[in-house]
Amino acid sequence: MNLADPKELASLIEAFLLAAGKPLSIERIGELFEEAERPEPAQIRDALAILGRSCKGRAFELKEVASGYRLQVRERFAPWVGRLWEERPQRYSRATLETLALIAYRQPITRGEIEDVRGVAVNSQIVKTLLEREWIRVVGHRDVPGRPAMFATTRAFLDHFNLKSLADLPPLAVLREMEPEPVAPDDEDPPPPAGLQARADLALAEDEEERPKDGKDQASFRSLLVELDRMEQGLKTDFDDMLEHADLPTDTQHDQEDAVDESPPKP
């Protein structure tokens, strides 16, 4: 194989991505070559660009997420691809998604601060589920009495929701300006929107929580973010657009030690 040929290198990288079944960074791709034949990072990027263009018109695409690059089925095919699984995937509860959304937009945030916005107590099982799913992590403790733990999202969260970094999260102000969804009767779930709903459904397919019996506690990720925006507008603090008014951690910061004091709470 002539690895100096960008097209052949692109084909080999395609094989790597298909076999890996998970995102591969440019650095990791380089490690798969013997030192004497190892391409430069710029050559790998060029090959990835060729591979991305070759996916045009195909049912799959090359996607860059926080952990690197991966080949994935395009979102518009999700409703049909989901039929490969006999049982309907379980989905996270409304309370869990609201908690996740608050952590994503207001990180680092404590459990008490989440409860202040939601207006109800956060079940410990919700936090445990998100921690076990590795979508959130403890990044320190707030320097207040009791020293409560502060939570932030992880690189795994970005990967599951097809995000390269936190900057790719839709600003809450933009969500508020979106066309409102049709109002469903009280005994029906709202119709799923196209954008973030498809993204959320793909990630939530592996959810292990029990499905609520009445089905009313389920909601789309996008609609929850819209409702979150409405809740936040009633607070005294002004954060219409969290991505513009808050210094959120970047994707590289997820891999660095947090500067916040992480010593255990004092008895």
Q: What is the pLDDT along the chain (267 residues), one digit of tens a residue?
A: 888 889 999 999 999 999 998 999 999 999 999 988 999 999 999 999 999 999 999 999 999 998 899 999 998 998 888 888 766 655 677 888 888 888 998 889 999 999 888 888 888 889 998 999 889 999 999 998 989 999 999 999 988 888 888 888 877 665 555 434 444 444 444 444 444 444 444 444 444 343 444 444 444 555 555 555 555 444 433 333 333 433 444 444 454 444 444 444 454
Domain 94-255 of CATH type 1.10.3720.10: no
Instruction: Give me the residue spans of the domains in the chain.
Output: 6-73, 94-255
Handedness of CA 143, 144, 145, 150 (dihedral sign): negative
Q: What is the pLDDT of residue 185?
A: 44
Is there a common fold for 6-73 and 94-255? yes
Q: What is the pLDDT of residue 160?
A: 85
Q: What is the pLDDT of residue 136?
A: 93
| Cβ neighbours of 179 (radius 10 Å) | 6
Coarse DSSP helix, strand, coil percentages of the chain, rounded to the nearest 5 percent: 45, 10, 45
Amino acid at 173: A
Range list of β-strands (E), the chain: 60-65, 68-73, 109-110, 136-141, 149-153
Whole-structure pTM over 0.75, yes or no? no
Domain 6-73 of CATH type 1.10.10.10: yes
